[in-house]
Each structure stands twice: as C-alpha cells, then as structure tokens.
Structure 1
Amino acid sequence: MENMNSGQFKQAMHSINYGHVMQAAAEDYAREMKMSEREAKARAKAAGVVDARELCEDPDLEEIHRERVQAMKEAQERRMKMEREGHGTLSEVEEKEFLPEVTTTQLVVAHFYHQEFERCRIMDKHLSALSKKYFDTKFIKISAPDAPFFVTKLQVKVLPCLIFFKNGVAFDRLVGFEDLGGKDDYPTAKLERILLDAGAVVPVERNDSDSEDEAEEIRREAMNRMIRGGYHRNDDDEDSDFE
C-alpha cells in the first residue's frame, strides 16, 4: 500500500468529517420532520381534523363495521324468510287458511272480495302495488262467497272490504270506495294514506322520486275534482252490497 502524503491524508480526513456532518444533519432533519408531523397532528386534532388513514386502523371502527355487516346479514335473512311466508305480494288464501294467516303475522291487510265485482279487481291492483312497498305488512285476499264463517263473524256486508289486523285482532276497516273519493280512478297514494293513518302499514324511507310521484297523483286528482266541479254521488257510485 502506498504511503499517503500529507495533502492526501488531510483530504481523506476532510471527506470522513464531511460524511459524519451530513449524517448528523440528516438525522437532525428526520427528527425535526417527525416532531413537525406530531405537532401538525396535534394541531389538526385540536382543530377537529381527522386523518382518514388513521381511522382504517381504529379498532372501534372495525367493531362498528362487523356489527353493521351482521345486522345487514340478519335483515336479509329475515326478508327472505318473510318472502317465503307471503310478504311482498297480494296472496289469496282459503277460509281454512285465514285464521293462521292473521294470527301469526303482526300486521295483515285482508281484502274480502267477489270475483265478479269490478271494484274488487281495482282494489287488488292497488294492494298488489302497496304490498311490494310495505313489506312488513302481509296483504291477503279471500273470496267472500267462499268464506261464509268469517264474513258473518266480521260482519262483511259491502265489497270490497279491507279489514286490518294487528297481532290477530281486527282493529279497523275500509268499506267500499267512499273514503277513496267514490270513483274508480283513485290514485294508489290515496289508499296508501288511509293505510298509513290507520297504522295498517309501517312507514318506510322514501326517496325523492316517490315523493314526486305521490305529489303528481295528488295534483292530478285535485285537477279532476276542479273539472268535475266537486264530487257528486249518484246511483252508479254505490258499492256492491254483499248479502
């Protein structure tokens, strides 16, 4: 190994010292940056600012997520079970099935109908639409001529007749079309409002399009009343007596 002269030795020492200085400077810079980051987080926390990246590692958030997923799973299983039991549609039942239906479900809307009555068919159309929206309520229909026992016990005399049940108890009813305006072209929203006011269906979350549709139906009905000059009942508007 060749001997270093004095100049070369000084240059080597200078390089070593320079390297130590740069390393120390880098370490000081890293410490300052870390302190600045901690101070920035402290200031942000005091100001109410939350770093979303930190939330990803929050155990409380993970627990909330697990609970939410479990709740969604249970709700889906419950809905599938209710679908198998006839919720979400207007189901026809026989007389022997009527009592089990109304006593095993919390809310039931039962339509006593006659297949030859046009207004019963109109009622079915509206009930079919509402059954899909108000899933917690079971909507059923039963032929009045084929259910003489319940027709007598429930004093069904005019068709169509809706009877509302809660936990097996008949608590209200809608007879004929008089409360629906007396006309066949009433909007579904009018029947829906009657069911809501009676407590036969449970309110559900609505989006803007639902509200707009209902408002449009109400406006159209109001315009029809103005054109007709008000509602005048005549012989053709009588509901069908069922004796």
Structure 2
Amino acid sequence: MNGNSFRNTMHSLNYGNVMEAAARNYMKEVKADEAAGANVGPVQYDLEDLEDDPELHALHKERIQQMKEEQEKRKVMESKGHGTYADVNEGEFLPEVTGAFQARSRSQPVCVHFYHQEFERCRIVDKHMQILARKYFDTKFIKCHAPDLPFFVTKLNVQVLPCIIFFRNGVAYDRIVGFEELGAKDDFATSKLENMLLAAGVIQTPEKGEDDSEDEADVIAKERANRITYGFTKYSDDEDSDFD
C-alpha cells in the first residue's frame, strides 16, 4: 500500500469511528428522553444530519491532525535509529547515547548491549533485543562489540558479558550482567527480559494495538541459521568470565 492509499484508508476508518461514536451518543440522548417520559412522539433517526454537525467535523479534523503528527514523529525517530537494533562503533557510541535527549526536552532512554561475537550467550541476548527493539519504538536499542570499545568498557566497568546497560539523559543508571538475573539459563523467554526492562524504566508499556515486533519464532529461526553458517553451535558455560 502506497502512502496516499494508506492515508486515504486511515482517513476513512477514522471518520467511520467518529460517526459511529456520534450515533451512539445520539441514541443514548433519545433513549434518556423516552425514559424520562417526554412526549416526543414517534422518533425519526436520521444519521445523515450528523454529517453536517460542526462539532463532529472539528473532532474528525483534530484526530486526523494527531495521526499526522504521530506519523511525522515516527519518521524522525526512525531516522535516529529507533525501531532498529544497530551495531555501534566507538566513535558513534557517545552520539548514540546522548543525542536522544539533546534534541528534546524529555529524555528517551537507550538500551546498550555490550557483547563478544564469539559468545553464544551474547547471541541469545541479540535475539531478544531484536524483538524488543521493534516493539518498544520509543527506546533506542543498540549493541557494541566490547573488544572494539576498550575506552568505554573500562569507563563503564564492563567486566562480564553479556552486559546490558541502561542510559537516560546520557547517564548510565542500571544494568543487567550475565544470565543470573535472567534465571541462569539459556532458554529464557523474551518476556523475562522485557519485564526487567519495564521494571528498570528503560521501556514503557506500549498503547493497545501497537506491536511492531518481529515474530519471535522468525528471529529464532534466523539465529539458528546464523549458527549453522558461522559455526557457533556450542554453548559455553563460562563465557561470562572469559571476557574478564
């Protein structure tokens, strides 16, 4: 569906919702009059009169404007990496974790996964982060190959991998280290990590109906294919301490 088609469709659906809500309110008012014993005689329901209601048109115009503003906001955020799970190098790290709040009055949190490309548990975290990045659009999700960022690894005291650090206003305020807090097992559910991020405040519960996440089964299939391609088929029990 192209842009014009999408806008026209949304416009029609939204207008239909407004008309339906107005009709319901109209019917309630008529029934209230009947219950009060008003001598109104036979009631004629002419919903076409609603189409000329100035209040209804004003409400419709307001909702269309809200939709346009949300669409523009999403485009701007997409251009800044929201909704994706990108690999960031040392030169890009500071702009990524600080740029989100410099351009806006309210902070937009950043979730950073420090990983090692040969650690299977880091690859497991990647699978879950990809899912959550698409679901929680207001939070920026990035990953950093720890050996390539020695300065920030030292500065942030990253000693055990995988390590997920939460940033707000460019400041690291909390973290998840290893798999101990995730149940100390490799097959934890995405919801386990999701609940921890919600508790930490790095993500916020999305509005009803908003779920752009990639299906978890598809991501798992891709990860299995990658392991076969690159030979990462062995789980290591001591990956956490290897990096230290």
Residue 238 of structure 1 deviates from its aligned partner by 6.8
Q: Which amino acid aligns with 2:240?
A: D
CA contact (8 A) 2:81 2:140 kept: yes
Corresponding position of 1:172: 174
Residue 206 of structure 1 deviates from its aligned partner by 4.3
CA contact (8 A) 1:183 1:237 kept: no
Alignment of 1:32-181 (within 5 A): 46-47=33-34, 52-105=47-100, 106-181=108-183
- The CA RMSD measured in Å over matched residues stands at 2.7
Q: Which one has a bigger Cα radius of gyration? A: 1
**For 1:184, what is the secondary structure of its paired residue?**
coil
Residue 163 of structure 1 deviates from its aligned partner by 0.4
Q: Which amino acid aligns with 2:65?
A: Q
Partner Cα separation in structure 1 for residue 30 and residue 148 of structure 2? 76
Partner Cα separation in structure 2 for residue 190 and residue 237 of structure 1? 22
Corresponding position of 2:197: 195
**For 2:83, what is the secondary structure of its paired residue?**
coil
Partner Cα separation in structure 2 for residue 195 and residue 43 of structure 1? 49
Partner Cα separation in structure 2 for residue 47 and residue 241 of structure 1? 78
Residue 170 of structure 1 deviates from its aligned partner by 1.1
TM-score (norm 2): 0.67
CA contact (8 A) 1:182 1:237 kept: no
Detail structure 1 runs of 4+ shifted over 4 Å in the superposition: 42-45, 47-51
CA contact (8 A) 2:114 2:146 kept: yes
Change beyond 3 A, Cα 1:43–1:119: closer
Q: Which amino acid aligns with 2:173?
A: F
Q: Which amino acid aligns with 1:46?
A: D
**For 1:179, what is the secondary structure of its paired residue?**
helix
Partner Cα separation in structure 1 for residue 89 and residue 166 of structure 2? 17
The yes-or-no answer on 1:242 pairing with 2:243 is: yes
Structure 2 unpaired stretches of 5+: 1-28, 36-42, 101-107, 217-235
CA contact (8 A) 1:156 1:242 kept: no
Q: Which amino acid aligns with 1:172?
A: D
Change beyond 3 A, Cα 1:73–1:241: same
Instruction: Report Cα offsets for 1:159-186 as digits up to 9, x if no partner.
Output: 0000001121111111011111101100
Change beyond 3 A, Cα 1:72–1:47: farther
Corresponding position of 2:184: 182
Change beyond 3 A, Cα 1:185–1:120: same
**For 1:91, what is the secondary structure of its paired residue?**
strand
